[in-house]
């Protein structure tokens, strides 16, 4: 399991780099506003995935739950943004419903992170 966090951070870093490249292309009017949306999603969700993974590695008992949340979030982001990028650059789709599935996965990933954090907070005994 020790490779999972490192692999997740590597993939998230690549997604973030792709987001920067897309933002640069959008800034130079290479494509429409959809590319800017994809760039924002990639950079934001890549950073969030790295943050969630780093938090999980900090020693919480919910390591697996946080890693699952970060993986779902990142997978959804990549799927959503790959579909948008293919539409912009190649005028085709990744596959039918790729963007909505990716968007749904992003929402699930964010909610999984929230549920994990709330569950952990509720199980903690008050100090005093």
Per-residue pLDDT of the chain (128 residues; tens, 9 = 90+): 589 999 999 999 999 999 999 999 888 876 667 888 999 999 999 999 999 998 888 766 778 899 999 999 999 999 999 999 999 888 999 999 999 999 999 999 999 999 998 988 888 766 65
Residue 86 forms part of a structural domain? yes
Number of domains in the chain: 1
From the number of C-beta atoms within 10 Å of its C-beta (0-12, 13-18, 19+), residue 123 rates as exposed
State the Cα–Cα distance between residues 90 and 109, nearest whole angstrom. 28
Q: Which domain holds residue 54?
A: 3-123
Residue 46 forms part of a structural domain? yes
Reference 85, options 28, 40, 44, 47; nearest CA is: 40
Residue 128 forms part of a structural domain? no
Residues 48 and 78 sit within 8 Å (Cβ to Cβ): no
């Amino acid at each position: 399991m020790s490779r999972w966090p490192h692999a997740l951070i590597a993939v998230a870093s690549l997604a973030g780099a792709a987001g920067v490249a897309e933002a640069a292309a959008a800034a130079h009017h290479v494509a429409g506003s959809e590319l800017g949306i994809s760039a924002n999603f990639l950079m934001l969700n890549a950073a969030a995935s790295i943050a969630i993974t780093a938090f999980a590695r900090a020693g919480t008992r919910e390591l697996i739950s946080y890693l699952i949340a970060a993986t779902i979030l990142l997978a959804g982001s990549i799927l959503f943004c790959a579909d948008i990028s293919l539409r912009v650059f190649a005028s085709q789709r990744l596959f039918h419903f790729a963007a909505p599935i990716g968007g749904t996965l992003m929402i699930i990933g964010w909610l999984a992170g929230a549920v994990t954090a709330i569950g952990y907070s509720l199980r903690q005994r008050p100090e005093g």
